[in-house]
Amino acid sequence: MTTELTKTERAVSSESVTGLMVSTQDIVSRLLRIDEIKRTIMQPNVHFGIIPGCAKPSLFQPGAEMLGVAFNIGAGEPIIEDLSVPGESARYRVKIPLIAQQTGQTLGWGMGECSSDEDKYRWRKCLKSEFDQSDPGRRRMKGDRDGTFRPQIRTEPAGMANTALQMASKRAYVSGMRRVTGASSVFTDGVEDLASEIIDVVSTAPARETATAATLLPSAPPRPAAPAVAEPVAPPPTATYNPGSLGYIMEANSETVNSYLVKLGWIGPEQTWEALPANKQTRIEAGMDRFLDAARGAK
């Protein structure tokens, strides 16, 4: 009896896990959509930033909010933990649920923390007169990268309490949204909140950036061999996505038939489909069928 129960439980458990699995096609579609949003809608230094030395761009709050709109994900009621020490520091830890707006299901949680003891909140710039009148134990001269020094004085924890709470909430939201959308392979987080002395945001993405759909998606399967024809079909030119991949199809769907065929190298820039001889149209149609069959196999 015990053995039979164990087998039944295992069968039920296996079916439950299988029912929760996401298809490969859904994963590919999600990655493509994130990459498309990043390339076509998001703006560098607004929705994300490129930090020298980091392999992936840093996701900013506006970028996280855009992903939330794209995937219909909202933030629920946050759980706030006050870790402040009265008179010494303001410190908060925030946990935010990310919720599917259509179903109300909690997809995951994001956690973030911020303290007024962080260096960029612990000190602030000041005038020389203010510096001279301050307590010697609560002032310093901060060196810049160019070799100059500027006066700074300590901030009051009470005056930084709201800033610390807002920053903790923002960090929790960005971190959670990055996880529940599966965008960790494209973006990192937390870098936006580094001190300004460390961050040197580049306005355009460097060539070494590799977090694109072309590197995230599996290679397309080989296309079937083409039957012999009188004139060989010209190979498609090098493109952002591998020819035959789902990304290539999506990228081309927004173009006209003529520009699509020119992109594939099957007609010249000055040619049009309507003006081609009937025998060449037949050859191109045969090649198009093979191309689409290979693309369907890559889904």
Is the pLDDT confidence value at 104 over 90?
yes
What pLDDT, on a 0 to 100 scale, did the predictor assign at position 89? 92
What pLDDT, on a 0 to 100 scale, did the predictor assign at position 98? 96
Is the pLDDT confidence value at 291 over 70?
no
What pLDDT, on a 0 to 100 scale, did the predictor assign at position 87? 86
> In DSSP terms, which residues pair with 96 in a beta bridge?
110
Question: How many helices (H) does the chain have, and how many strands (E)?
Answer: 10, 9
Top-ranked range on mean pLDDT: pick from 80-89, 261-270, 276-285: 80-89
Q: How confident is the model at residue 145 (pLDDT cuts 50, 70, 90)?
A: confident
* DSSP per position, 265-294: TSS-TT--TTTS-HHHHHHHHHHHHHHHHH
Q: Which residue has the higher pLDDT, 69 or 9?
A: 69
Is the pLDDT confidence value at 193 over 60?
no
Q: Which residue has the higher pLDDT, 167 or 241?
A: 167
The CA-based dihedral angle spanning residues 252, 258, 261, 262, taken in that order and rounded to the nearest 10 degrees: -100
Please calculate the CA angle 144-147-153 and round it to the nearest 5 degrees. 40
